[in-house]
Chains A and B, each alone.
Chain A
Amino acid sequence: MALLDVEELSVTFARRGQRTVRAVDGVSFSVDAGEVVGLVGESGCGKSVTSLAIMGLLPKQPGLQVAGKAVFDGTDLLQLDDRSRRDIRGRDVAMIFQDPLSSLNPVVPIGIQVTEVLTRHRGMRGETAAKEAAQLLDRVGIPDPKRRLKEYPHQLSGGMRQRALIAMAVACQPRLLIADEPTTALDVTIQAQILELLKELVRDSGTALVMITHDLGVVAGMCDTINVLYGGRVVETARRRPLFRQPRHPYTVGLLGSVPRLDAGRGERLNPIPGSVRDLLPWPDGCAFAPRCARRVDACVGEPPELVLTHDGRSYRCVNPAPVPGLTPGEEVREVVPGQATPGSVPAQAVPADPPAVPGLAAAPSEEETP
């Protein structure tokens, strides 16, 4: 059994006088202990709402509806009462946010913010807590941690701040870490360092990591399994290597195709997906991606596409997937799940040791490039 099993998670926001927004529409995925799982998609596809819903951090307001399940180690996180949810947060499940500056309290020294977690979940106080906090900062690679503990967030650089936030998140050795675009606010060199740090933490402590990002370079360098989201649903799930080598869903194909390539010729144009994320079809009326899809066929519209599970352990939600050379269409299909049903998760496989064979992602940090 997986550490975290998200089943048919959906989040709707209803406002009086306005159209009800279904931000997450039946997302299912699972995360095993020690695994790095990516949730990938462009802005507005429901990545962040998914993570906030799992953590129970969505602002409580009338009109908010969260349905489905998020089973963590046998307990459904969505059914917990506030108190036990607070006990789990920070201790078993922790989150790293996008903007390290605004995620740290500007008027409180770093040290107090780190020890706060230690006091809350591990009952540490005074000297012990301070010592542990210094060790944590040291562990995430902040030099001179004793002095840094007394400093305020604005005195740290962006990378340091993100390290401090990571230190707070891993303070209680959580079993699941959710990172919501942890490197978006950082520049590229710092980005690589932070990713390396996260990878190290996952490797050393066996923490499972859910990586939410729109950056395919990050995905290529980090994730074991990747879920591609579109319009609030998982449209394709695969292990890292097969996904980059042979994307099946046209949206994944489009995403990979739109990455600027270092080896592209001068003056060669970028290859974007036409339209914007707002041009989506409601899922019950067909494939949400159909209006922008290059491989659209008549069958795309009318009813939601079925989820196709393949023999090699992938799944995609498309009636006309990108073909695989040497394979007749339909041959790889193991099982077909009707459109509204739960997509299965990809069974755990051996983690591919080598980086994906995508030439355009050469800039991405990978195991070989970083010491």
Chain B
Amino acid sequence: MTIISGKKREKIDRLAELAAREEERGVSLWQDAFRRLRRNPAAIVGAVILAIFVLVAVVGPFFVPYGPTDTIGIREGVVRVGQGLIPGHSAEHWLGYDHQGRDVFSRMIVGARQTLLVGVVATLIGLAIGALIGGVAGAAAGLGGRWGRWVDTVLMRFIDMLLAMPSLLLAVSIAALLGPSLTTVMIAVGMVSVPVFARLLRGSMIAQSNSDYVLAATSLGVRKSKIALAHVLPNSLAPVIVQATLTLATAIIEAAALSFLGLGNPDSATPEWGVMLADAQQWIGIRPALAIYPAVAIIITALGFTLLGEAMREALDPKLRK
């Protein structure tokens, strides 16, 4: 027997205390996932980007130095498009003027709010419709009998039809049907992501329906509807939530693409990054920076969502759990 030195004993005691405290703390699946997220540098980078983006989008418009529609450059005579004169950054105008003499910095910040709105609303539309269809199909296929399989087949063939159309084409046709506006962009982008959510939730629910706890609940006489809602659904949500985060990124890009194609908000009073990008292409020879600012903003925001989404996927995947 060796005698443990006082210092070592202290250390062991401390570790034991730490371990005890760790155990004491109730850890749910989500708390556990959150703890792992905090340890992942990619998640932190993504979260910081998103935090800045959301902050700018929410409070930024209250602090912009100039009105986003104020054609100040033309009024002051600094911007003369006919002569190819669009001044770049200066102390007063950090990102310079655009072709109508408006302050680009102010427009970028106000545009952030529109971009966030489009991304979030479009994703929510896709999530709501997709989860509804996929959830019903998944529950019917996994737990219902022959009748359930029939429901599943009908719903999923509809989803397959949506999926068969190229997403941008689908969005363009929806936008064309409803007329160009910001709402149209949201609906169009949302509809494009419906099949993804539907298939994901359905697959996940069918997989969960074969698990032992569903069998155990069935053996206790729990009703099928209760099993679907209280047992299968909560266990199937993790991939859907991850997908929602990733969809936010593509929604922003797709919304920008639709705006770029001229299907977005025709009213330039409310700037949006995609519209700004579209407007800039005419002047790309004179001042390429006008296109670069919104493009970089879109890329960084999408990157933030993607980083966080991927990190969440890792954190929530039980197979990657140690």
Chain A interfacial positions (CB closer than 8 Å to B) = 55, 57, 59-60, 86-91, 94-95, 97, 99, 102-108, 112-113, 116-117, 120-121, 150-152, 155, 165, 168-169, 171
Contact = CB atoms under 8 A, between A and B. Distances in A.
B26 A103 contact: no
A89 B222 CA distance: 8
B8 interface: no
B213 A105 contact: yes
A60 B209 CA distance: 13
Contact of B230 (A55, A97, A108, A171): A108
Given A103-B216, A116-B220, A121-B221, 13 more contacts: A55-B219, A60-B145, A86-B221, A87-B221, A91-B221, A99-B212, A106-B29, A108-B234, A117-B220, A120-B221, A150-B26, A152-B28, A168-B220
User: How many B residues touch the partner, as a band?
Assistant: 20 to 34
Contact of A107 (B29, B145, B218): B29
Nearest to A112: B230
Interface in B16-35: 26-29
B217 interface: yes
Nearest to B214: A105
Ranked nearest first, the 6 interchain pairs of A and B with the lowest CB-CB distance are A90-B221, A90-B220, A89-B221, A102-B212, A103-B216, A95-B219
Q: Which of B26, B29, B220, B230: most chain A Cβ within 10 A?
A: B220
Given A99-B212, A107-B235, A155 B218 contact: no
Nearest to B25: A155
Q: Which of A57, A104, A113: most chain B Cβ within 10 A?
A: A113
A106 B33 CA distance: 13
B221 A105 contact: no
Q: Give the interface SS of chain B, mostly helix, strand, loop or mixed.
A: helix
Nearest to A95: B219
Nearest to A147: B26
B26 A155 contact: yes
B97 to A, nearest CB: 54
B218 A57 contact: yes
12 contacts: A59-B210, A86-B222, A95-B216, A97-B216, A102-B213, A105-B234, A108-B230, A108-B234, A117-B222, A120-B226, A151-B26, A152-B26
Interface string B196-227: 00000000000000111101111111110010
Interface string B221-242: 1110010001100110000000
Nearest to A98: B212
A86 B223 contact: yes
A152 B318 CA distance: 15
